[in-house]
Structure 1
Amino acid sequence: MIINSIGVVDTATQRPCTHFDERPQGDEISLLVLHNISLPAGQFATPFVDDLFMGCIDCQAHPSFTDLKGVRVSAHCFIKRCGEIVQYVPFSKRAWHAGQSEFLGRSQCNDFSIGIELEGTDTTAYTQNQYNALQSLTKALINKYPAITRSRIVGHCHIAPGRKTDPGESFDWNHYFAAL
């Protein structure tokens, strides 16, 4: 797996979205944030996560989508349960994944982080294919952005405690870190 000079992964399916902007000048990419998402909640292999990140979700397609009307969010990458990596935003750009957040006293984590979404829920075990893809991607990210160290790989729950819980209790941090 190779990440080019603008932060595009050679093996990822590319789905460029418009939900990103420029990172602040001089900000070094130094944090990796892991998330989970499924739409509707607990349902996998639907088109709705892609629709959300691409800005074209039909908010009438499911009753739980009403809160998504007008929401503009993105992740750098989304890892499906089969292990396929979909990239929405080049790593050199600021994706809108962390929201109100803080890491080691610094707010606005989107400015200096990469956001990876795993298709899943807090309580559903992730697949081995997802761990394999995430571990390969993480190794490539650490190689490209050496300021991302093990201590700077966190869950959304760690940078937005009380507001977010993902990647959840089902994420096996020891298994993930063991392969890095």
Structure 2
Amino acid sequence: SAHFLIDREGRLTQFVDTDRKAWHAGESALDGVPDVNRFSVGIELEGDEVTPYTEAQYETLLRVLEELRAAHPRIRPERIVGHEHVAPGRKRDPGPLFDWGRIVGWAAGRLG
């Protein structure tokens, strides 16, 4: 399960309240702390490894990140990561077509 899904048209679906644990990361760790599911919000993007993510998906993702930041002011830019970062070798998403530069740029301007 995940907290949110953003489809290719940018539509947002929420599956789990953000104050509850979702099971999106599985066996994982961030900064040496295991079980990322305990302290994270999982945002899934509909996609595959051959089709770039859409502008609508990025717009919705940035809106969700903005709302999460308002609700949780202690979110730090370096904590916005993909499954590939918390479960390397086991998970590959969002993958090489995801524009991390765009997210890092947004985070530096908003959260830095």
With normalisation by structure 2, the TM-score equals 0.91
Partner in structure 1 of residue 110 of structure 2: none
Q: Which has the higher helix share?
A: 2
More strand by share: 1
Q: Does the Cα contact within 8 Å between 1:122 and 1:171 map onto a contact in 2?
A: no
The structure that has the greater radius of gyration is 1
Q: Deviations 1:48-85 (Å, cap 9, x if unpaired)?
A: xxxxxxxxxxxxxxxxxxxxxxxxxx100000110000
Quick one: distance in 2 between partners of 1:179 and 1:147? 16
Cα distance in 2 for partners of 1:178, 1:151 equals 11
Aligned identity (percent) is 47
CA positional deviation for 1:149: 1.4
1:123/1:169 contact within 8 Å kept: no
Instruction: Say yes or no: does 1:174 pair with 2:101.
Output: yes
Distance in 1 of aligned mates of 2:56 and 2:103: 12
Q: Which has the higher contact order (CA 8 A, sep 6+)?
A: 1
* Superposition TM-score, scaled by structure 1 size: 0.57
Alignment of 1:93-132 (within 5 A): 93-132=20-59
How many angstroms apart in 1 are the aligned matches of 2:104 and 2:57? 14
Q: May I ask how many residue pairs the two structures share in their alignment? A: 107
Q: Which residue of 2 aligns with 1:32?
A: none
Match for residue 68 of structure 2 among 141, 163, 179: 141
2:6 is matched with 79
Q: Which residue of 2 aligns with 1:161?
A: 88
Deviation readout 1:129-169 (Å, 9 max, x if unpaired)? 00000001001111111222110000100000111110000
CA RMSD, aligned part only?
1.0
Unaligned 5+ runs, structure 1: 1-73
